[in-house]
Amino acid sequence: MEITTLGAGCFWCVEAIYKRLRGVKQVTSGYAGGNVENPSYEEVSTGTTGHAEVCQIEFDPEDITFEELLSVFFRIHDPTTLNRQGNDIGPQYRSVIFYHSDQQRETAERIKGELVLSKRYSRPIVTEIAPFTNFYPAEEYHHDYFSRNHSQPYCRLVIDPKVAKFEKEFEHLLVR
């Protein structure tokens, strides 16, 4: 098993998508990259702790590669917006890959570089690639939020369309 830690805006969206991928064994919403131990959601939401909302993803590299996980990552959010995803604004919503090994760092840098060269995006990619230093699981009510709160307006209006787009584009990577 391997672990990666990814921030692509609201962790509810990221969790809802990565739980649907084959080879992904566990997805845990939480906070990473900051300078406060065991921060609360309220603290992270101020944008002053340095943490990003992330998902820590445990995966089997024999079933899904880190490169495939990053392919999904770069398609499910806008990696060109600094400290923002849609209406979610602040450094806690930044685009970030916290790598757990030199191999993950090299892969992330290569894929980001290939995307820059491809000119897929009209603006510069601002995704941060940083060494993993800490992870604090989010409060229990954040875990499996989409599945447990599907009728909530945010889930229906924001997460549902992202999941539908993802499932169409990445059908070949879905749990069967």
17-41 pLDDT tens trace: 999 999 999 999 999 999 999 999 9
155 given a catalytic annotation: no
Compute the C-alpha angle 108/74/37, nearest 5°: 70
C-alpha torsion 106→110→113→118, nearest 10:
-170
Two tokens at 93? 């919503």
Question: At which residue do the structure tokens 């879905």 appear?
Answer: 174
* Contact between 21 and 69 (Cβ < 8 Å): yes
Closest to 33 (Cα-Cα) out of 47, 13, 16: 47
Q: Which of 10, 13, 55, 155 is the catalytic position?
A: 10
For residues 89-98, give the mean pLDDT.
97
Confidence of residue 6 (pLDDT cuts 50, 70, 90): very high
For residues 107-125, give the mean pLDDT.
95
What are the chain's domains?
2-171 (3.30.1060.10)
Q: What is the pLDDT of residue 86?
A: 87
* Contact between 169 and 75 (Cβ < 8 Å): yes
Which percentage of the chain shows pLDDT scores above 70?
A: 100
**What tens digit of pLDDT does each residue of 134-170 get?**
999 999 999 999 999 999 999 999 999 999 999 999 9
Q: Is the pLDDT of residue 87 over 90?
A: no
Q: What is the pLDDT of residue 161?
A: 95
What is the dihedral sign for C-alpha 168, 166, 104, 57?
negative
pTM score over 0.85: yes
